Structure 1
Amino acid sequence: MIEAVGLTKRYGAKTAVHNLSFQVRPGTVTGFLGPNGSGKSTTMRMILGLDTPTSGRVTIGGIPFRKVPNAPRHVGALLDAKAVHGGRSARQHLLSLAQLSGIPARRVDEVLGVVGLQEVARKRSNGFSLGMGQRLGIAAALLGDPQVLLFDEPVNGLDPEGILWVRNLMKQLAAEGRTVFVSSHLMSEMALTAEHLIVIGRGQLLADMPVKDFISANSADFARVRTPDTDPELREKLGSVLGEAGAQVVPEPDGALRVTGLPLPRISDLAHGADIRLWELSPHQASLEEAYMQLTQSVVDYRSTTDQRAGLQQQVAAPAPQGPGMPGQQPPQGYAPQPGPYGQPAHPGQPNPYAQAPGGAPGQGYGYPPAAGPGAPYGQPNPYAQPGPQAGAPAPMQPAAQPAAPADISKPHTEDAR
C-alpha cells in the first residue's frame, strides 16, 4: 500500500504539492488525475524517493522507498519511457537492470514476451517508436515481479491493440492483489480501467473516491422520457405531472423530456397514474470526462485562446481569366478577355491575348503552338498591331512565300502591350 500524509513540496517560492494525504490500496487500479502542472509527477517522484518532501511523508508498505530492501523486487515504475541508453538493445537494457537487482536472466525473456517485444529484443532502442519505448518501460517495471506498481501515462504512443493490452494488464495485476497506481490524462481509458480515483489540482487534493461516486458527485444524473410523438398534449401533461411531484423537467430538441430530481420507478408510477403512455424511460449518467471537467475547471493553469492570426491574413484576389488548355496561367497585363475556340476571338473586336508577337519571343501567357508562317497563328489578329476597321473578323492565312507586313510602330498604341 502507498500512503501519503501531509505531503508538501516547494521549489523556492513555488509550491508544487501542498498538504497532500491519500492511500493507494492493493487489489484495485487507482487512477491519479489532475490538470497539467497540478503536481502529479512531483508526487510520484516523491513516492519513489527521487524528490525529497519539504514536509510530510510518503511510505510504501509502511516504510520510505529509500529504505525498501532491493527496491526493484518490491516496487516497479514507469515514469519516463525515454530513460534508456539508445545504444543498447531492449534485451541488454533489461539484462543490466536484472543484474543490478539480482534478478535471473531468464526473467528478461519472460517480460519481453509479456510486452510483445521478443521479435525486436536484440535491436537498439534508439530505433524504437514511441509505443515500443512504452512497452520496454512497462517491461522494466514488471522485471522484478513487484507488488507495487506506478505508471505515468502508460498508453502514451500505443495503438488501439496496445491500449487494450495495457488496460487488461492493469486489471490483471490488481486482481492478483497488487497495488496499481496509474496517472493519465485519458479520461475514457481511466473510466474503463480504474476503480478508484485520486484527483488533485494545484497540488491539493480535490477528490478521493470510487469512480462511480466521483461521477455522481460532480454531475447531474437525469432520465429521458418520451411520449408518443403523435400526441404533443401528452408530453405537456406529463411535464406538468412530474413538475408537481418536484422534478425539474426540461424539453429536449428531439421531443423528449429531461427529468432530474425523481428516480425512474417514481416517474413510471406518475405516468401510469396519469394514464400517459411512455415510449422511452431511460437513465443517463454523465461521463468521467464531464465530471472531471466540472470539478477541475477552477484549477486549470493553462488555457488556450483563439488564434487571431493578426497581420497574417491577406485578401485573396479573384482568379484571373484563363484560356482553354492553360490552367494556372494568366494573360499579359492589360489584356483581360478570354479567347474563344482556336481561330475565333472570344468577343468581336477583341484580340487574342495568347497570339505570338510578330518577330518576337512569346509573351507571358504564351502556350499555343507556333503558326506555320510568320503571320498571326491560327488566323488570329496580331494583338500588337493597330486594329483595322474590321477588328472583329478573322484575318486570312497568308501564303508562306509572302510574309505579313510588320506592325506600324509610328502610330501610338492605345494599350500597354509590354
Structure 2
Amino acid sequence: MIEAVGLTKRYGDKTAVYNLSFQVRPGMVTGFLGPNGSGKSTTMRMILGLDNPTAGHVTIGGHPYRRLPSAARHVGALLDAKAVHGGRSARNHLLSLAQLSGIPQRRVDEVLGVVGLQDVARRRSKGFSLGMGQRLGIAAALLGDPQVLLFDEPVNGLDPEGILWVRNLMKSLAAEGRTVFVSSHLMSEMALTADHLIVIGRGQLLADMSVRDFISANSADFARVRTPEGEQQQREKLTSALTEAGGHVLPELDGALRVTGLPLPRISELAHSADVRLWELSPHQASLEEAYMRMTQGAVDYRSTTDQKAGFAQPPAPGAQPPTPVPGQGQPGWYAPPPPQQFGPGPQGAPAAAPHGAPANPYAQPGPAAPQGAPNPYAAPTPQPAPAQPPSAAPSAPPAPSSAGPGGPAPSADAVAAASGPADLTQRDSEDNR
C-alpha cells in the first residue's frame, strides 16, 4: 500500500504539491488524474524517492522507498519510457537492470514475452517506435515481479490492440492483490480500467473516491423520456403530470424530454396514470470525462484562447507609408488574380473590357473566341500619339498596355506606373517594340 501524509513540494517560489494525503490500496487499480501541471509527476517522483518532499512523507508498505530492501523486487515503475540507452538492445537493457537488482536472467526473457517484444529483443532500442518503447518500459517495471506498480501514461503511443492489452494487464495485476497506481489523461481508459480515483488540481487533493461515486458526485443524472412523434397533446399532458409530481422537465433538441428529480419507476407510473404512451424511458449518467471536466474546471492552468487570425498581423511601424493601391482595385469588374495554373494555355479570346474610365485589367478572364479575321488582341500594340489635353483639364489616366494574355506574366512595375499617371505612351511603346 502507498500512503502519503501531508505531502508538500516547493521549487523556490512555486508550490507543486501542497498538503497532499491519500492511500493507494492493493487489489484494485487506482487512477491518478489531474490537469497538466497539477503535480502528478512530482508526486510520483516523491513516492519513488527521486524528489525529497519539502514537508510530509510518503511510504510504501510502511517504509520510505529508499529504505526498502531490494526495492526493485517490491516496486516497479514506468515514468519515462525514453529513459533507455539507445545503443543497447531491449534484452541487454533489461539484463543490465536485472543484474543490478539480483534478478535471475530467465526473468528477462519472461517479461519480454509478456510485453510482446521477444521477436525484437536483440534490436537496438533507438530504432523502436513510441509504442515499442512503452512496452519496453512496462517490461522493466515488471522485471522484479513487484507487489507495487506505478505507471505514468502507460498507453501513450500504443495502438488499439496495445491499449486493450495494457487495460487487461492492469486488471490482472490488481486481481492478484497487487497495488496498481496509474496516471493517465485518457478518461475513456480510466473509466474502463480504474476502480478508484485520486484527483488533484494545482497540487491539492480534489477527490478520493470510487469511479462510480466520482461520476455521481460531479454530474446531474437525468432520465430521457420520449412520447410518440406528432402527438403534442400527450407530450404536454406528460410534462404537466411530471411537473406536478415535483419533477423538472426540459425539452431537448431531438424532441425528447429531460427529466430530473424523479426516479425512473415514478416517471413510468405517472405516464401510465396520465394514459400517455412512452417510446423511450432511459437513464442517463454523465461519463467520467464530463464529471472530470466539471470537477477540474477551476484548476486548469493552461487554457486556449480563440484563434484570431487577425492577431497574427504585425502592427505597422511608426511613420510607415500606407501600401500603394492597385490600379482598378475596388472598381466594378475588379477581382484578385487566380493562380497561374488556372489560366488556359494560350489565348482563346479577348480579355474582358474594363469599365469606362478604368484602366485595363491585365488579369481579366478570357472572353469568347474572336471571329476569324479579327485583329489579334495579344499582338504588340501599334504606336499611338498621346491625345492632346486642354491645359485646364486634369489629365485622365490612359489604359495600361496589356502585355500579357492568359497564362502570361504579371504586369511589370512600369505598366503599373503608366496606369497611375500621364506618360509618353509613344516613347514607351517604341521601347517595348524594340
TM-score relative to the length of structure 1 = 0.81
C-alpha distance in 1 between matches for 2:285 and 2:33 = 20
Q: CA deviation at 1:324?
A: 3.5
Residues 350 and 256 of structure 1: is their aligned pair in 2 closer, same or farther, counting only changes over 3 Å? farther
- 1:286-331 alpha-carbon deviations (Å, 9 max, x no partner): 110000000000011111112222365799924279654469xxx9
- Which residue of structure 2 aligns with residue 163 of structure 1? 163
Q: Is the 8 A contact 1:339 1:352 kept in 2?
A: no
How much identity, in percent, do the aligned residues show?
78
1:23 partner SS: strand
Residues 174 and 338 of structure 1: is their aligned pair in 2 closer, same or farther, counting only changes over 3 Å? same
- Which residue of structure 1 aligns with residue 326 of structure 2? none
Note if 1:274 corresponds to 2:302: no
Q: Is the 8 A contact 2:343 2:407 kept in 1?
A: no
Of residues 376, 379, 392, the one that matches 1:351 is: 376
Residues 55 and 336 of structure 1: is their aligned pair in 2 closer, same or farther, counting only changes over 3 Å? closer
- Which residue of structure 1 aligns with residue 123 of structure 2? 123
2:291 partner SS: helix
Q: In structure 1, give the amino acid aligned to 2:189.
A: E
- 1:91-143 alpha-carbon deviations (Å, 9 max, x no partner): 00000000011111111111111111111111111111111110000000000
Q: Is the 8 A contact 1:345 1:352 kept in 2?
A: no
C-alpha distance in 2 between matches for 1:411 and 1:57 = 92
- Which residue of structure 1 aligns with residue 421 of structure 2? none
Q: Is the 8 A contact 1:21 1:205 kept in 2?
A: yes
- Which residue of structure 2 aligns with residue 317 of structure 1? 336
Q: After TM superposition, list the pairs within 5 Å mapping 1:37-116 onto structure 2.
A: 37-116=37-116
C-alpha distance in 2 between matches for 1:173 and 1:326 = 74
Q: CA deviation at 1:411?
A: 9.9
Q: CA deviation at 1:13?
A: 1.4
Q: In structure 2, give the amino acid aligned to 1:52.
A: N
Residues 367 and 417 of structure 1: is their aligned pair in 2 closer, same or farther, counting only changes over 3 Å? farther
Q: After TM superposition, list the pairs within 5 Å mapping 1:9-408 onto structure 2.
A: 9-310=9-310, 317-319=336-338, 324-325=344-345, 334=362, 336=364, 338=366, 340-341=368-369, 344=370, 351-353=376-378
Q: In structure 2, give the amino acid aligned to 1:351.
A: N
- 1:180-211 alpha-carbon deviations (Å, 9 max, x no partner): 00000111110111010000001100000000
Q: CA deviation at 1:255?
A: 1.3
C-alpha distance in 1 between matches for 2:222 and 2:103 = 54
Q: In structure 1, give the amino acid aligned to 2:336.
A: A
C-alpha distance in 2 between matches for 1:335 and 1:95 = 71
- 1:34-60 alpha-carbon deviations (Å, 9 max, x no partner): 001100000000000001111111110
Structure 1 segments unaligned to the other structure (5+ residues): 369-408
Q: Is the 8 A contact 2:380 2:433 kept in 1?
A: no
Q: Is the 8 A contact 2:46 2:58 kept in 1?
A: yes
1:289 partner SS: helix
- Which residue of structure 2 aligns with residue 377 of structure 1? none
Q: CA deviation at 1:366?
A: 8.2
C-alpha distance in 2 between matches for 1:351 and 1:131 = 66
Moved segments of 4+, more than 6 Å:
313-316, 409-414
Q: Is the 8 A contact 1:250 1:259 kept in 2?
A: yes
Q: Is the 8 A contact 1:49 1:65 kept in 2?
A: yes
